[in-house]
A and B are shown apart, each in its own frame.
Chain A
Amino acid sequence: MKGLEYFEVECVEQAGAETYSQIADNILSDLNLNQSIGRLHIYIDPEIPLFLAVGVIKQMPGLVHIRDFASALGTETGVVLDIGTETYLSPMLSILWDRYGRDLITQPDRFTVNILVPGLNPREIEDMVVVDPSEGMFHDIIYALQWIAPEGFKVRRQSIGEGIFSYVASENTLDQEEIEALLKEKFARIGVNA
């Protein structure tokens, strides 16, 4: 797969392994995740049946602050925000509403937001964190793996740690110890001591 430094699908059935590596490639590129994942190892055992994926996240997107998409200007009545792009407008408004109350936040047009609180420091407003994209990315990675995994594997265990993630799914109950050992083995394949 393009963009990944390591990618392998391990399965006793050759044809199935090939197809699943194609499916994973298609789905990860559909969801724009192939740039964020560094290494990915998928292990499928159709006998149990079991689907297991372990991976390393290549780059974590940074926090989004108000200064990244707007500039703040202090005035007598409060702070005026000049919005550059509207992508994060909605979460920003929710945060401002929670902090200052709806009455004090006005939006005269699409690209202007007023905070009617006198004496606010515009720099502090600009430093406010609006979104943590890594939360969304974890969600996206798990969604992608649910999509890649065969349907009907309702017994699931997923975990996300410091730059690593794992996903195990089956239709039968999973033995905790066996899965731990298997995860450790597969993580070792991608150079992680979990």
Chain B
Amino acid sequence: MTVLVPITYKGGVYRHDIVIDLIDDLGGYIVQKHMIAQEVVLQSLVPKDDIELIRTISRPLAGIVIEAPLVGTEIAVVSPSLEIHHLPHTSCDVAEYLRSAGAKTNMIGLARGFGKRIANLNIEERDIINEHDCAVFMLGNFESCIEYKMPALRRGITVPIILTGRPSTEALQRIIDPPVDGYVGGIGRIGHRMKRQEGEIDRLDALVDEVSTVLSRKREEVAKDPLSVNPARLMTVLDDAMEITERSTHPTPITVQIRALRVKLPYDTYADAIAAIEIENGVRIGDITRILPSRMRDYILIHIRPFSETKIIV
């Protein structure tokens, strides 16, 4: 089985269909396509050995290929509230930076995540965070405060947590018990956009590194018991059958996660139709996945079942 690696292709609109066809022919998948004015950005998964070929072919088109470690993941950026204290600065900077590394980020502003003693997480927020590949918790500037409120905010969260706060990474590691999956210090509440290289942008780079480390661990975990179908492939099959991207106005009508897909269609109307779609040789989507209603609006969440459960790989 070829190893697919996440890349971002950036280039002009002119003849970009050549690149799309090439990725398709090589057996890669385009997870997301942005057309911004004269520029095209393709978030894709392509075979590792063929990156150089894509580079060579896109060179005359002035396209560039960059490795984007977070393509094909959906990340929750959890902010204690949506008030002026927490937005837009740090939370938006973080969400935007993770997106530039290829991730699909959703910002979740907690209803009552602020304060120290009064901070908490409600069931809906917990469930929505658990629908992501990982959650980046954006906490504040004081060690004692983070130490006190973190147990309340992480209660019931089953996805990997990456904790950020103003205290140093070592201090965060020291105060959190039991440990979470990742820590990035130096990103706390501030009153301006992050633009200095030292202490701001380099912290965001550290965050991208930490998130990709945590997610690679998760990918390795998944690889031990491989999924019955690659999520990116399932996305292509689903999109070909139902033309969702063409008919939807969402920026990412089908969001690819490490072992699931979020489909932005109403569950009640479309769940059965999706289950009946044939992937290959009589294997239907419903046979190898669990199609569940998402807690996010009325969307559909498709959990891909592992090989050990289905004994099928397509």
Q: Which residues of A does B touch, CB under 8 Å? A: 11, 13, 15-16, 19-20, 22-27, 30, 44, 46-47, 49, 147, 150-153, 171-172
Contact = CB atoms under 8 A, between A and B. Distances in A.
A172 B141 CA distance: 19
A176 B189 CA distance: 30
B79 to A, nearest CB: 11
B119 interface: yes
Contacts of A30: 191
A15 B118 contact: no
Measured as residues with beta carbon below 8 angstroms from the partner, the interface class of chain B is: 20 to 34
Interface of B: 80-81, 83-86, 114-119, 140-145, 166-168, 188-192
- Main SS of the interface on chain B? loop
Given A46-B144, A47-B144, A19 B190 contact: yes
Given A15-B168, A171-B115, A171-B118, A26 B145 contact: no
A147 to B, nearest CB: 6
A19 B89 CA distance: 14
A151 B115 contact: yes
B114 A152 contact: yes
B292 to A, nearest CB: 34
B115 A150 contact: yes
Across chains A and B, which 6 residue pairs bring their CB atoms closest together, nearest first? A152-B115, A26-B191, A152-B114, A46-B142, A151-B85, A151-B114
B13 to A, nearest CB: 39
11 contacts: A13-B143, A15-B141, A16-B167, A19-B141, A22-B190, A22-B192, A23-B189, A23-B191, A26-B192, A147-B84, A152-B80
A24 B191 CA distance: 8
Nearest to B80: A151
